[in-house]
C-alpha cells in the first residue's frame, strides 16, 4: 500500500515472490525514541497546545543526495522529524489511496497536493524533505514556499504528535504496546482536501485495497495532468464540476460497480449546494461532529462509518471514530470486553466511539488510527509497489488476497 521496516516494525514475514515488485534499498534508519524522559502528560481535559508556524521557520533548501537518486536533486526540508511523521505509517495505511512509491527507496512517496506534484522522503538523518516536480523551471522561493505551505497543511504539521502519543501511552496499556511496536511515533492523521477525501471513501465501502486504489486512481485521471514520475502519471484530483461530467455507465465500464451511482449522485448533489459543494464541505470544518456526520450522510453512498473517515481525515474532527471491523476488534478486546461475541450495529458503533473519546480525549481519532494500524497484517506496512498497469482502468478484478481496510 514493501521492504521490511526494521527496526521500527519487528517480526516481518518475507514478501511473497509474486504479485509484488522487487524493491532494493537499505533498511529503515533507526528512529530516536519519542517516549523517553519527557515532562508528564497534560490532562485530557486540556486540548493539546498546537505549535505555530513561527516556532518552526522554514529551513533553507538544500541539494540532498537521497538513496536511489542518480543525481542530487533540489530537496527542501520540512519541519517534521521521523517521530512527528513516518511516511510508511501514514501514507499507505488507509487514509488516502493516491500516493505511490516511485523509487527504489522504501522511504520515498510521490503524490499530488492540490496543484503541486511532489515527492516526500526521509533523509539519512531521519528528517523529512520534499521535491517539487512541476515548478516549470520556476525555482523561485515563492513557488517552493507555496508548495511547503500546502504540504504542511496536508500533513497537519502543527499538531504536536509526540505530545499526543505521550498522553495516549499514559492512558492506555494497549496503545503503549502498539506504539512501542511501531517505533514510538510517526503515524499522523492527514488533513486532506474534503472533496478528494469524500470521493476516495465513496470507493472504499465493502472493497479491498487493490480495487480501492485502482478506482481512486481512475477518478484522479479526470483531473488536470501534473506530470509523470517513476512511470506513474499523476493528476490533480478533479473538481466536483469535472466529476459531474462523468457518466455512471463510464464508471461501471471502469469496474466501479454499484459505487458508480454513488459517485455520480454525490457529484450532482454537491453541484446543487448553495455556493457550490466545495464551499459546503469546507464549512463543515466549523460545525460540531454530530452535525458533520448528519450532513455527510445525506450524500449518496455515505453512511456513518464513511462519514467519520471523512470527518477525521479532512474536516478537523479529531475525535471522530470510524468504527470498522478492525476498530470493533480492538474495542471488544481492550475497551469494552463485555461486547465480545456481539455483532457490530449502528447503535454499538456509537457506544464504541464514545468509549474511545472517554479514554483518549479530544484527539481520540488519532489514537484510534494508531490502534487501527496495529491491527493490520504486517505485510500492509511493507514496501509493496503497485504495478504501473494499475494506473489504467480495467474491467477485470485484480488477483491477490482481499484485505479489508476502512471498509
Is the CB of residue 185 less than 8 Å from the CB of residue 83?
A: yes
**Nearest-angstrom CA–CA distance, 62 and 247:** 46
**Nearest-angstrom CA–CA distance, 335 and 337:** 6
What stretches in the chain show pLDDT beneath 70? 1-72, 136-142, 378-407
Nearest to 386 by CA among 150, 191, 221, 216: 216
With b meaning 16 or more CB within 10 Å and e meaning fewer, what string describes 248-277? beebbebbbeebbebbbebbebbeeeeeeb
Res 104: pLDDT: 84
Task: Work out the number of other CB atoms within 10 angstroms of the CB of residue 378.
Answer: 14
Res 248: pLDDT: 97
Q: Which of 214, 305, 317, 380 is catalytic?
A: 305
Res 291: pLDDT: 97
Q: Domains in the chain and their CATH numbers?
A: 75-156 (3.30.310.40), 194-380 (1.10.340.30)
Strand, coil or helix: what is 3?
Answer: coil
**Nearest-angstrom CA–CA distance, 219 and 393:** 10
Res 141: pLDDT: 57
**Nearest-angstrom CA–CA distance, 25 and 106:** 7
Strand, coil or helix: what is 6?
Answer: coil
The reply to whether 273 belongs to the active site is no
Res 395: pLDDT: 32
Read off the pTM: 0.78
DSSP string covering 239-283: PHHHHHTS-HHHHHHTT-TTHHHHHHHHHHHHHTSTT-HHHHHHH
Nearest to 243 by CA among 235, 391, 91: 235
Amino acid at each position: 500500500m514493501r521492504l521490511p521496516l526494521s527496526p521500527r516494525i519487528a517480526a516481518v514475514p518475507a514478501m511473497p515472490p509474486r504479485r509484488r515488485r522487487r524493491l532494493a534499498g537499505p533498511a529503515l534508519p533507526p528512529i530516536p525514541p519519542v517516549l523517553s524522559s519527557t515532562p508528564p502528560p497534560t490532562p485530557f481535559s486540556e486540548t493539546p497546545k498546537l505549535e505555530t508556524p513561527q516556532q518552526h521557520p522554514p529551513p533553507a533548501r538544500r541539494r540532498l543526495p537521497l538513496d536511489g537518486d542518480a543525481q542530487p536533486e533540489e530537496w527542501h526540508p520540512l519541519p517534521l522529524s521521523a517521530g512527528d511523521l513516518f511516511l510508511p505509517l501514514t501514507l499507505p495505511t488507509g487514509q488516502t489511496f493516491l500516493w505511490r512509491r516511485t523509487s527504489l527507496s522504501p522511504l520515498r512517496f510521490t503524490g499530488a497536493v492540490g496543484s503541486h506534484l511532489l515527492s516526500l522522503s526521509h533523509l539519512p538523518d531521519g528528517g523529512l524533505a520534499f521535491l517539487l516536480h512541476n515548478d516549470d523551471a520556476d525555482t523561485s522561493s515563492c513557488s517552493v514556499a507555496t508548495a511547503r505551505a500546502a504540504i504542511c497543511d496536508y500533513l497537519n504539521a502543527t499538531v504536536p504528535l509526540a505530545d499526543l502519543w505521550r498522553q495516549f501511552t499514559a492512558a492506555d496499556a494497549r496503545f503503549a504496546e502498539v506504539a512501542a511496536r511501531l517505533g514510538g511515533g510517526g503515524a499522523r492523521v492527514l488533513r486532506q482536501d474534503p472533496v478528494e477525501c469524500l470521493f476516495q471513501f465513496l470507493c472504499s465501502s465493502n472493497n479491498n485495497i487493490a480495487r480501492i486504489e485502482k478506482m481512486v486512481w481512475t477518478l484522479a485521471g479526470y483531473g488536470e495532468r501534473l506530470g509523470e514520475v517513476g512511470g506513474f502519471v499523476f493528476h490533480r484530483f478533479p473538481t466536483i464540476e469535472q466529476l459531474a461530467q462523468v457518466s455512471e455507465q463510464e464508471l461501471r465500464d471502469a469496474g466501479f460497480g454499484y459505487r458508480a451511482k454513488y459517485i455520480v449522485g454525490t457529484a450532482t448533489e454537491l453541484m446543487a449546494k448553495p455556493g457550490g459543494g466545495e464551499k459546503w464541505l469546507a464549512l463543515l470544518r466549523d460545525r460540531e461532529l454530530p452535525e458533520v456526520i448528519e450532513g455527510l450522510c445525506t450524500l449518496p453512498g455515505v453512511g456513518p462509518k464513511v462519514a467519520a473517515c471523512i470527518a477525521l481525515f479532512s474536516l478537523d474532527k479529531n475525535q471522530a471514530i470510524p468504527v470498522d471491523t478492525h476498530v470493533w476488534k480492538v474495542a471488544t478486546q481492550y475497551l469494552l470486553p463485555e461486547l465480545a461475541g456481539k455483532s457490530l450495529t449502528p447503535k454499538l458503533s456509537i457506544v464504541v466511539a464514545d468509549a474511545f473519546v472517554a479514554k483518549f480525549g479530544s484527539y481520540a481519532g488519532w489514537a484510534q488510527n494508531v490502534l487501527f494500524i496495529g491491527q493490520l497484517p504486517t505485510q500492509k506496512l511493507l514496501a509493496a509497489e503497485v504495478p504501473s498497469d494499475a494506473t489504467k482502468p480495467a474491467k477485470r478484478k485484480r488477483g491477490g488476497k482481499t484485505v479489508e481496510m476502512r471498509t
